[in-house]
Structures are given as structure tokens and as C-alpha cells.
Amino acid sequence: MQPTITQQEAAERADAYTRAAIAQLPAEAKFTKYEADINNCSLPSDNGPQGRVIAFTSYETKMVPVSEFNQYFDKIKDYWTRNGFIVLDDSRPKDWYLWVQHQPDEFRMSIQGNDKGLLTIGAVSPCVWPNGNPPG
């Protein structure tokens, strides 16, 4: 069991990644923080030990016309791929969903939209120990 960053550091990094992505978009989009929290990492994808947590944050806006979503997605995708993220899924044009993972820290981010005009950008950390160190 290896040390990790703390849950506080994970929350700060998730928020920083999200704000950096939003900064690439026009200011008139007016994203506001929708949620930020810490959850148990009860089903870790890496089959690791219990007791770890994930940090996540998301921002949303209803100020972007659906007709402009593709431009926003393209801008975010370009920014992410130039900054160490690999694309895990780009569901366009079927769905408004783009999912990426940062290398090497494994933070995952997404941008998602719906036909009602809601656009959301967020990040989730990998599983981390709350205080950075495994128990024991």
C-alpha cells in the first residue's frame, strides 16, 4: 500500500483542473460550481484496498446554446489533449459527452451537455488515502 496525495490535495487539484478547462471557454458561458465532495472509493477500479476516497467537483452553465456545444467540446478537447490528457470516450454526435484522463496522476475529467442546454464540466480524483498515508 503506497502513500497518495491527501483528500484535500485531491479536491484542490480536481477543482484546479476544472477551472483551468473552463478558462479556455468564452467568459459569457458563466460556469458556476455545482458540486464538490469527497466519497468513499468502495469499488476501486484498481482493485486496491478499502478506506480510500475520491474527490470530485463539477461546474455547470445554461448560458451556452446547444447549437454551440460542438465548438465548446472541440475547444476543451484540444486543450486537454495538449495538456497531458488522453481521450477515453468522445460520444459525439450521438451524445454530448467527452471523457478524458490525465497522465500520470489519473484524474479524470468530463464535459457533458443535454438537449435542454445544460453544460457541465467536472473532475474526479483517483482513489487516495484521506490523510495521504495507508492505515497502520
Pick from 46-50, 71-75, 124-128, 132-136: least confident = 46-50
pLDDT of residue 42: 73
Does residue 46 surpass a pLDDT of 70? no
**pLDDT class of 69 with cuts at 50, 70, 90:** very high
pLDDT of residue 1: 81
d(Cα 46, Cα 57) in Å, to the nearest integer? 21
Find the mean pLDDT for residues 50-71: 95
Spell out a b/e string for 84-117, using b for 16 or more CB atoms within 10 Å of the CB, else e.
Answer: ebeeeeeeeeeebbbebbbeeeebbbbbbbeeee
pLDDT of residue 19: 97
Q: What is the pTM of this model?
A: 0.93
Find the mean pLDDT for residues 83-92: 97
pLDDT of residue 44: 52
